[in-house]
Amino acid sequence: MDLLMPVVNFGAIMPELILSVVAMVLLLVNVFLKTEQKAYLGYLSLLGIGYSLYVVMTAWGTPQTGFSGSVLQDNFALFFKGIFLVGAALTVLIADQYVRREECNYGELYPLILFATVGMMLMASGTDLMTIFLGLEVLSVSLYVLAGFNRKNLKSNEAGLKYFLLGAFSTGFLLYGMALTFGATGTTRIAEIAKVAAASSAVVQNPLFLVGMLLMAVGFSFKIAAAPFHMWTPDVYEGAPTPITAFMSAGPKAAGFAAFIRVLMVALPTLKADWTDLLWILAVLTMTIGNLIALNQDNIKRMLAYSSIAHAGYALVGFTAGNSIGTAGILFYMLTYTFMNIGAFAIIILVGKKGEPNNNVSDYAGFGFKHPVLALVMTIFLFSLAGIPPMAGFMGKFYLFSGAVKAGYVWLAIIGVLNSAASVYYYLRVMVFMYMKDPTEQFDWVKMTVPVFITLIICVVGVLGAGIWPAYLLGLAQNAMPF
């Protein structure tokens, strides 16, 4: 009897392989470095990220599959991989100053960031529910450790434990939903699920299939911090080390949307009428709850945590539309959100003191007088988050809401615009303290380092460039549709 060898094709996961090898090398090198030399690990990780990004860019337009079709490296996966790599690089750049100040300069930080990025990339390119689950677990386990990375800080320990417990609980929902879907369709391949569902109305009406879809939606909603599955976000964002908070707010959220889009739009188009109603409700709840609670937050990290919940709601508006404009808007928005959010957290790291006792909005009083350039940069990021033109945040929301209007969800777009208008208040509140309050501190501890300077330059260029000249990035997003 002839044995059939599966088609492996390592080229389909070459960016993941590069990061995995670099991460394992970093773990070995870490053994031989002294504490004050750990920064070299960051530089090495940047080389790995840069090479992986080069591979992603050169693979554009040449889709390939691997591992018997369970992995697909198409433009959709490549666009998201670019987002993950940019977010990882910016996180590495802002991490060094923070870990030195907080005396948590442990060498495992950079390999964990790389492994988390590998998990995100597997989620984006997975065309099998098991591949997506594997990527999710690689990402989640890395993030559990990263959230509690500052082991000397009780809040960081609490953040890691809460994220682990709630994350494991949500993973159970997701895996059970996948199991039920397999039971109803007999396959875990996304394309095969779509064929089975299209060929038989009995499968679509099967309670196992419907409950499986619902449970998977719950699992993915937790990962993107959609209400009412957002409860972990503020505590974890506040307690986690600030660079990790920045990382979690960008990459994992985009990975959740990538997998969510694959599963719903590719595997379950026959249930579009059902899941659009579900997403409509999720979008409204997420936007409204995130913005309303953010209005009352004094801690700036908690404020940005609830803000990130609201931004997930805006992305869900485009998801609900289910058309090319809304989906391209999600891709565009995830990339620009990475620039503006990590940029804002970079400023928070600069302003922060050891132990992070000054993370309240009121602690920024007079910052604009003492450090006008940094305050201006922070203002650019806050304006973009608020959706003020000509920043990238405005263009992203414009495409998301345009997709909803074209799909006939006019009221959903109106609710999104009203929520965006309400969010201006808590972003402006930070600016009021920076420019219109007398300084209570001299901010003499704020020291700009070269890596943070590079990060801020990249983020400002990304925010202004994508806002003023959005056509190029939007064109890439439109060429990355998974359907």
Over its length of 483 residues, how does the chain's per-residue pLDDT go in tens digits? 455 566 678 888 899 999 999 999 999 998 888 877 788 898 999 999 999 999 999 999 898 988 888 899 999 999 999 999 999 999 999 998 888 888 878 888 999 999 999 999 999 999 999 999 999 999 999 999 999 888 888 888 888 988 998 888 888 999 999 999 999 888 899 989 988 888 877 777 888 888 988 899 888 898 888 888 888 888 898 888 899 999 998 889 999 999 999 888 888 877 777 788 888 999 999 999 999 999 988 989 899 999 999 999 999 999 998 888 989 999 999 999 999 999 999 999 998 888 777 788 888 888 888 889 999 999 999 999 999 988 999 999 999 999 999 998 999 999 999 999 999 999 999 999 999 988 887 878 888 889 999 999 999 999 999 999 999 999 999 998 876
Provide the residue range defining the domain that includes 80: 10-478
In a domain, 396, yes or no: yes
DSSP, collapsed to helix, strand or coil, labels residue 231 as coil
In a domain, 315, yes or no: yes
Query: 10 φ, ψ to 5°?
Result: -65, -20
With CA atoms as reference, report the closest residue to 365 among 307, 304, 293, 429: 429
User: Are the beta carbons of 201 and 257 closer than 8 angstroms?
Assistant: no
5 secondary structure, DSSP code: P
pTM here?
Answer: 0.94
Nearest to 304 by CA among 361, 371, 353: 361
Residue 268 · residue 210 · CB < 8 Å: no
**pLDDT given at position 1:** 46
Q: Is 344 exposed, middle or buried (0-12, 13-18, 19+ CB in 10 A)?
A: buried
Q: Contact, 394 vs 388, CB < 8 A? A: yes
Do the domain assignments include residue 434?
yes
* Residue 229 per-residue DSSP state: S
- Do 382 and 364 contact (CB within 8 A), yes or no? no
In a domain? residue 171: yes
Q: Is residue 483 part of a domain?
A: no
CA 360 – CA 308 distance, rounded (Å): 17
**What 3 state SS string does 416-467 have?**
HHHHHHHHHHHHHHHHHHHHHCCCCCCCCCCCCCHHHHHHHHHHHHHHHHHH
Both structure tokens of 274 = 């059902």
CA distance 64 to 15: 13
In a domain, 413, yes or no: yes
Angstrom distances, CA of residue 475 to CA of 55, 270, 309, 462: 20, 28, 27, 16
Does any domain span residue 1?
no
Q: Into how many domains does the chain fold?
A: 1
Closest of 132, 109, 104, 105 to residue 119, by C-alpha: 132
The pLDDT, as a whole number, for residue 156 is: 86
Distance in angstroms (rounded) separating the CA atoms of residues 392 and 462: 8
Work out the end-to-end distance of the chain between its first and last CA atoms, rounded to an integer number of angstroms: 39
- Domain annotation covers residue 450: yes
Rounded Cα distance, 400 and 122, in Å: 25
